[in-house]
Amino acid sequence: MVVALGWLLGSLVPVALWPTGASAWGYEGHRVVGAIADHLLKPAAKAQVERLLNEGDTHGIDLRKAAPWLDCVKSVARHDDGRFHYEVDPEHLEYEVPCTPFNSARERARMVDYVARNWSTCSYKPDGFERGCHNTFHFVDVAIQRNSFDRALQGTNPHDLVAAISAAIAVLQDRPIPPPFPFSIRDKKEALLLLAHLIGDLHQPLHVGAVYLDPGGQPVDPDATHQVDPLTDTIGGNAIQDGVAVPFQTINLHREWDDIPTDLGDAATGELMDAARLVPPSPGAPDGWPVAWATDTLLVAHDAFKGLSFGPTVPPAQSKWVVAFDNHMDYLHAVDAIKRRQLAKGGARLAELLNAIWP
């Protein structure tokens, strides 16, 4: 997978930025966000979450286990005959690790149904190949030159991360999904599965803020020209390769940001719980929070791109651009601190949102 991969296991130690055989469908970061929220739910919200997540064939599902679901659905493929199937990749059985709570026939049918309903609702061809529209729900690509999220900006669209979160909130609040958002969310269980994942994505800086580059690697501003030139689209950093050469492996900038520090594991550590309890409450009504949180993450993305410069790659490189660091070790330290803060924020805000929906 090359697009919007979700948080993935990683480390501050440079060599571990290239984990051999690592799953591109990392789930640890999402589980951390869900686990923090599990601890911060108040009784009414906790009861609703437990009830909804365990409708159907799932058992013992909490937000921690639910959070990777939206990546698990990426195993649903469309065949030439137009039918959809859940397919286990025999070469990447590790992709299934976070998906085992959903591997009954009934839960797999739910995943197939979700993907089929959200496949053709937009056109999405990030690298020339048509992918299901649902893959776009994980990110938005606001230029890092901007200081706040606005739906009029380039890189936003009616099927982006902020729109998807707003749609899921509406379903949980018994409101219609606001037009023109093209989401099909079958029920509250599905809405909660979306939220448990997407609030995590909303706090990954490269899922919100994007750098657009000319062929030589100089930043360009899509809002100045009122359109995104596809040739400048870095696909959330997926088209930017790390400049440090490693034999037989390349890693892109998006993937490096999806990694989370290895000491965090895949649950809520005391350190992150302490940080989560210090996250200030969000002002206003919950339906304004997705935009406010996107703005907050966009400002964090400014820091994520500090100290970086870009240049063209040399064929046959897979990526279009290569990143260079003013000071690699300083950058890795900054990244580590940002990730911890963002995971704590994501968990705190997921709980805050669900506590507001079910007071």
**Contact residues: Zn ion, CB under 5 A:** 6, 138, 201
Closer residue to Zn ion in complex, CB, 5/323: 5
* Closest residue to bound Zn ion by CB: 138
Strand-pair category, 84-86 with 76-78:
antiparallel
Q: Report which secondary-structure segment, H or E, holds 143.
A: strand 142-143
Closer residue to Zn ion in complex, CB, 6/261: 6
| DSSP of 171-223 | HHTT-PPPTT------SHHHHHHHHHHHHHHHTSGGGTEE-EE-TTS-EE-TT
Q: How far is the CB of 308 from Zn ion (least distance, A)?
A: 23
Closer residue to Zn ion in complex, CB, 101/200: 200
Closer residue to Zn ion in complex, CB, 25/321: 25
Q: How far is the CB of 264 from Zn ion (least distance, A)?
A: 18
Q: How far is the CB of 54 from Zn ion (least distance, A)?
A: 23
How far, CA to CA in Å, does 343 sit from each of 58, 279, 303, 336, 340? 26, 11, 16, 11, 5
- State the residue for tokens 């998906």: 99
Instruction: Kindly state the tokens that stand for 36.
Output: 């923090």
Q: How far is the CB of 326 from Zn ion (least distance, A)?
A: 29
Alpha carbon distance 142, 144 (integer Å): 6
Closer residue to Zn ion in complex, CB, 138/188: 138
- Contact between residue 114 and residue 190 where contact means Cβ atoms under 8 Å apart: yes
Q: How far is the CB of 47 from Zn ion (least distance, A)?
A: 27
Angle at CA of residue 32, ends 28 and 36, nearest 5°: 170
